[in-house]
Structure 1
């Protein structure tokens, strides 16, 4: 069942223009990343964290995350999100985007 859903999703993405394909992939990845962020990193501002993770993921990671969106996050999804979150570029993004959002919500 999962393989069929992933195949259908992949075929839909392949049929799109490159820009549309990127938007669909990022949107699907964003949906699963949001679930991981909410569950794994409850104290960080969700939207800035999701943006930083998506913006610092490789194309292969985004495709993998997008395919995980079909049935929901797995242990591999959480591992991928955690690995992306630990990158220096992601940490810099979180410091510049996430901390101001965190401070604004506590004031």
Structure 2
């Protein structure tokens, strides 16, 4: 039985590429940022905004956002997304894509 479960696990993960902790953190943060943008900033183009926020968030912010992906967006999530979105670097990134973040 144990060998069968191990074989099944190997078969299902055989095509997977190993991800770094940073990749996993970014993916989890993307999930919660996306939900936050959709629910709190309707009409804002999600993908370019999401990319600019991810690229301009600090590592501690990304870790915090990633942890929020487990429980779902909170008021702290919205605050973090707003803080990162209104940074000069993020605003420049957004303007290159023709996006204006509401302030």
Under a length normalisation based on structure 1, what TM-score does the superposition of the two structures give?
0.72
Aligned positions, number: 82
Structure having the higher Rg: 2
Equivalent-residue separation in structure 2 for 1:41 and 1:21 (angstroms): 29
Match of 1:86 in 2: 86
* CA deviation vs aligned residue, 1:30-75 (integer Å, no higher than 9, x gap): 0000011111221221100000000000000000000000010000
Indicate yes or no: 2:50 matched with 1:56.
no
Question: Greater helix percent: which structure?
Answer: 1
TM alignment of 1:1-107, pairs within 5 A: 20-97=20-97, 99=98
Provide the C-alpha distance between the structure 1 equivalents of 2:59 and 2:21, rounded to a whole number of angstroms.
Answer: 11
Measured in 2, the distance between the counterparts of 1:96 and 1:39 equals 24
Instruction: Tell me how far apart the structure 1 counterparts of residues 74 and 87 of structure 2 sit (CA, whole Å).
Output: 21
- How far apart, in 2, do the equivalents of 1:54 and 1:89 lie? 11
